[in-house]
Structure 1
């Protein structure tokens, strides 16, 4: 949020609820932001876990393919060592 947007929100809260409710609203807003950050962090960690598993599988497949290619190359060109 930009500064002007925050100012408009604060002014609206003042008009609707009065000055006494600003601290309560701020606590509610901060709690919501903390929960949102926590949720996004958990989602990011879960996605990273899935991609790490996939990356490990791809590395294993690549390694196996390279070994097979070397074996085939050795069979085709036995004197190339």
Structure 2
């Protein structure tokens, strides 16, 4: 049985087709610039969300709000995610 790797439910063939279309539309010389711009944009979004999270946490702790509730929710979400990964992993292997 051959298992194909997928990324966001997209197979390798589909990724290659998308890359081919990108090269055809933008040209090979523009692809690195586009990828660099996307990388910088993703980094800025990640930094902005981290800044917002830290500001909210600081404000909550200064106001005397209990922030342990969010940690409990995050732990529960992590547990559900792990359980889901275990389930989908077994389903994926059987396909």
Q: Shared fold by TM > 0.5? A: yes
Task: Give the secondary-structure state (helix, strand or coil) at the position aligned to 2:64.
Answer: helix
Partner of 2:54: 45
> Of 35, 39, 45, which residue of structure 2 is paired with 1:36?
45
TM-score, length basis structure 1:
0.55
TM-score with structure 2 length normalisation? 0.48
* Structure with the higher fraction of residues in helix conformation: 1
Query: How do 1:2-81 and structure 2 match up within 5 A?
Result: 2=8, 4=10, 7=15, 9-55=18-64
Change over 3 Å in CA distance of 1:49–1:15 after alignment to 2:
same
Structure 1 spans left out of the alignment, 5+ residues:
59-81
Mean CA deviation greater in 2-11 or 45-54: 2-11
Moved more, 34-43 or 3-12: 3-12
User: Where do 5+ consecutive residues of structure 2 fail to align?
Assistant: 1-6, 67-95
* Structure of higher RCO (CA pairs closer than 8 Å, 6+ residues apart): 2
Name which one, 1 or 2, has greater alpha-carbon Rg: 1
1:3 and 1:19 map into 2 onto residues whose CA distance is 26
How many pairs does the alignment contain? 57
CA RMSD of aligned residues (A): 2.7
